Structure 1
Amino acid sequence: MPTVKPSITFMHPHCMLAGGATTVLLEVSKRLVLAGWPVHVVSVQSDPAIVREAAAAGVRFVDVGGPLSSSIWFWLQYPLMYWRVHRAARQIGSPVVVSEPFPANWWGWFYKKLNPAVQLVYVCHEPTAFIFEHAWINSIKPDYMRWGLKLLNPIFRQIEFALMPVTDRVVANSQYSERTIAQTFPRLDPARLRLVYCGIDHDTFYPRPHVVRQRQIVMVCTLNKFKRVDTVIRALALLRQQPGCGDVRLLIKGRGVEKDRLQQLATSLQLTDAVDLIDAFYDTTQLANLLCSSQVFVHAAHNEPFGLSPIEAMACGTPAVVTGTGGTAETVTNGVSGLYFNYESDQSLADQLQRLFTDEALWQRLSAGAINHAAQFNWALTHKVFSGVVEEVS
């Protein structure tokens, strides 16, 4: 008789924004269910449109309700919010709990302390950015939340230092993340660290020769300061001054607190008609079509731990221009699948973009290289490695 697999409960902050950690959660949980693992996802809220495919595969979503962690009201009633998560997880009774980004990592640690027999896997894309990364802290809005977090930062750091060692396995999504985790948490047993690269869906993200490439740059990201979208807008202004590049446009797919400021920046640079911000929900097919219709993809974040969007773009044959810092040094190869630029220089980005819009031979070579390079990142491999981690602790 086939072995009955134990159930797994994922703790995730919310499933209200597509992309990033939520994409990883949905793809991994869906494949675990299809492989015979009963999977529940406990979070505050879920958007039915975002979780629809995973739910149809058999992933059970349990929303405890309440404000999102981006709201001050979440933190004012944190004990109640944690109790809701704890109660939901206890009712499910999974022997394996997988905690995801902050504040779900705290949920997992507290749950482990109260239920020592549970095996805890922490998917740590990076040490909690809102605690350890100054760029993220400085991007928080409104101002009172940013200053409140700065005031409480020493306490939050000590909580993370104290609780991280209770984790049975810590999953990093890049070698960069793995090193950063080890450096940030020296008390963590390095034998508990596992590297699991994220993948993409190659049945959705692939070249579409029938889609006409427009003379446009595309970005797919959350609109916050860490993503450095303002750098790309300023670089566009420089690029459009160069011969043969005056018609290049920028499409930004995403939503976030920086939207108004970015629109004001575009207006001040007389780029109102050259910059489009798209904050509507796109399914994966719509997103793939957007990537295939663009000539260049830009990812401007500095030291981001991984980043799925550059890989999705490359799989569509769209060269990626990135900083070459953090995880992008592993996901994009300079001169093969894309180009690197100096993250501190708008002109450096404009120069690399000009090369791709004026040198057809270079674009064709990098487009072919991007497709080949992206092929190594796939969800089947991610599932194989991640399920192996779960089996270790089951």
Structure 2
Amino acid sequence: MGKSRRVAFLSEHADPTALLGGVDAGGQNVYVDEISRNLAQLGYTVDVFTRRDNPDTPEVIEWAPGVRVIHLTAGPATFLLKDELWPLMPEFRDAFLRFQERSGTHYDLIHSNFWLSGWVAAELRERLRIPAVQIFHAMGITKRRHQQEADTSPSERIQVEHEIIQRVDRLIAQCPGEQHELIEDYRADPAKIVMIPSAVNTSLFYPVNREEARRRVTCELHSDDFVIVYVGRMLPRKDARNIVRALAILLHEHGPLPSVKLVLVGGESMEPDPPLTPEIGALQELAAELGVADRVVFVGKRQPEVLRYYYCAGDVAVTTPWYEPFGLTPLEGQACGRPVIGSAVGGITFTIADGETGLLVPPRDPAALAERLYQLFKDRALCERMGEAARQRVEREFTWPVAARRTAELYQALLQEWRQPVSTITRASSRR
């Protein structure tokens, strides 16, 4: 399908070679990794450009057949939070151009991730005269709306996002909510937006027998335990505190329920370390304060190849952030054949079929979450039915090969458009 087309993937902070679960290593890393690999299987050649954050990292890594990861020098070769990278983007752009000139590589299309790389893509589009596709992963206006004073984004972010939307050729929305944001908040041309849901690797996340999974995880779980599992980054906005509060309400209202346990997977280190991951410390204090510390198990960071055992060791997976643009962990839990309770925000309202593959609850409402947990605690058959339906729906609608095929179709249509006389370069300029 791709006819050996070469694509430049820009992802300034989300390096597909990075370990997942850290502060700025999550869904975007997975997206870049999976889409690039699957595009390569369709015949594309993909170079992923990311920022060097370690002096020992090779400039070029042959990451997968047809996929290279290229580390560009922009600022110090050390880890920086993504919100600190905006001043470095001109240097990132120039480093890309130097690499291209030095290597003699020609790219047919740019696919940029996040607003920072989006600005670089818009710049390169004009210099190189090649089309640009943008996926934001998160929108600045939405983030500011939900995080308010906790939003650490640069003040220029929203204005730059407006400019990117005008300057690139296509915008990928991951769910109807993001499509709505682009149109309503940013006045994006609906004709430029293509909805391509992100997905889950169903050969990595799949159902495992519960007893076997409980034997494989690194925490002690008994066969008769009712296990609630959270997998994700340990950040305030992910609101694992809401789950701890719900656990306390569940035990207080319906207790003692001695078999109920909560397993929290995530953090900056393999072992739970509050100094390295302050949110773990906050959760430990909260659990102690609410009298449920003996029911809460902290696991630390785990990589994707073992995460399925943690999902499958649970009876139900829970993720109740108060802000989530899309969220891949609900899909991971469902791919593992477990029902997922999620907050009714962002893409979670799209990936969980409420009442069929899981349950939706209001964010920041631990009492509502506790009631849903009790519903599943009482009805294990409902848990099983939802888990089976969840896996089936993921296989139908949310796999990376499907997402990559849709992306390739977008590329093909856009490249064909650019081959037309008086092409989109003129038309795109007229939109500005």
Q: TM > 0.5 between the two?
A: yes
Match of 2:404 in 1: 383
Contact 1:324 1:332 in 2 (8 A): no
Shift of 1:158: 2.2
Shift of 1:95: 2.4
The amino acid of 1:135's aligned partner reads H
Question: Any idea what the Cα deviations from partners look like across 1:76-108, whole Å, max 9, x if unmatched?
Answer: 655434433453456543121110023222222
Contact 1:9 1:41 in 2 (8 A): yes
Matches within 5 A, 1:286-297: 286-297=306-317
Match of 1:197 in 2: 197
Q: Secondary structure at the match of 1:375?
A: helix
Residues in 2 aligned to 1:54 and 1:32: alpha-carbon distance in whole angstroms: 15
Shift of the 132–211 alpha-carbon distance from structure 1 to 2, 3 Å rule, reads closer
Question: Any idea what the Cα deviations from partners look like across 1:196-216, whole Å, max 9, x if unmatched?
Answer: 112212222222124356522
Contact 1:295 1:318 in 2 (8 A): yes
Residues in 1 aligned to 2:279 and 2:401: alpha-carbon distance in whole angstroms: 35
Matches within 5 A, 1:184-333: 184-186=185-187, 188-209=188-209, 210-212=212-214, 214-241=225-252, 242-243=254-255, 245-255=257-267, 258-282=279-303, 284-302=304-322, 304-333=324-353
Shift of the 73–176 alpha-carbon distance from structure 1 to 2, 3 Å rule, reads closer
Contact 2:7 2:108 in 1 (8 A): yes
Contact 1:206 1:315 in 2 (8 A): yes
Match of 1:174 in 2: 175
Shift of 1:182: 1.2
Gaps of 5+ in 1: 141-145
The amino acid of 1:313's aligned partner reads G
Shift of the 90–216 alpha-carbon distance from structure 1 to 2, 3 Å rule, reads farther
Match of 1:6 in 2: 5
Question: Any idea what the Cα deviations from partners look like across 1:33-74, whole Å, max 9, x if unmatched?
Answer: 12221110000148999xxx9813331011124344517764
Matched, 1:31 2:42: no
Residues in 2 aligned to 1:87 and 1:136: alpha-carbon distance in whole angstroms: 38
Gaps of 5+ in 2: 21-25, 215-222, 268-276, 416-432
Match of 1:126 in 2: 138
Contact 1:29 1:54 in 2 (8 A): no
Taking only the aligned residue pairs, the percentage that are identical comes to 23
- What TM-score, normalized to structure 1? 0.86
Shift of 1:328: 1.7
Residues in 2 aligned to 1:220 and 1:235: alpha-carbon distance in whole angstroms: 16
Contact 1:86 1:107 in 2 (8 A): no
Aligned mate of 1:367, from 373, 387, 390: 387
Match of 2:27 in 1: 20
Contact 2:337 2:390 in 1 (8 A): yes
Contact 2:171 2:193 in 1 (8 A): yes
Match of 1:143 in 2: none
Shift of the 216–63 alpha-carbon distance from structure 1 to 2, 3 Å rule, reads same
Moved more, 160-169 or 201-210: 201-210
Match of 1:42 in 2: 49
The amino acid of 1:125's aligned partner reads H
Contact 2:90 2:120 in 1 (8 A): no
Shift of the 73–123 alpha-carbon distance from structure 1 to 2, 3 Å rule, reads closer
Residues in 2 aligned to 1:288 and 1:179: alpha-carbon distance in whole angstroms: 33
Q: Secondary structure at the match of 1:106?
A: helix
The amino acid of 1:347's aligned partner reads A
Match of 2:274 in 1: none
Shift of 1:301: 1.7
RMSD, aligned α-carbons: 2.9
Matches within 5 A, 1:59-78: 59-65=67-73, 66-70=77-81, 74-75=85-86, 77=88
The amino acid of 1:202's aligned partner reads T
Shift of 1:321: 0.4
Contact 1:14 1:45 in 2 (8 A): no
Question: Any idea what the Cα deviations from partners look like across 1:216-260, whole Å, max 9, x if unmatched?
Answer: 211122222221111111111112222363432222222265333
Q: Secondary structure at the match of 1:204?
A: coil
Aligned mate of 1:97, from 110, 115, 120: 110
Shift of the 288–392 alpha-carbon distance from structure 1 to 2, 3 Å rule, reads same
- What TM-score, normalized to structure 2? 0.79
Matched, 1:354 2:374: yes
Residues in 2 aligned to 1:352 and 1:324: alpha-carbon distance in whole angstroms: 13
Question: Any idea what the Cα deviations from partners look like across 1:319-372, whole Å, max 9, x if unmatched?
Answer: 100123322222111211111222232111111111112222322222222222
Moved more, 15-24 or 77-86: 77-86
The amino acid of 2:121's aligned partner reads G
Shift of the 183–17 alpha-carbon distance from structure 1 to 2, 3 Å rule, reads farther
Residues in 2 aligned to 1:219 and 1:320: alpha-carbon distance in whole angstroms: 10
Moved more, 273-282 or 9-18: 273-282
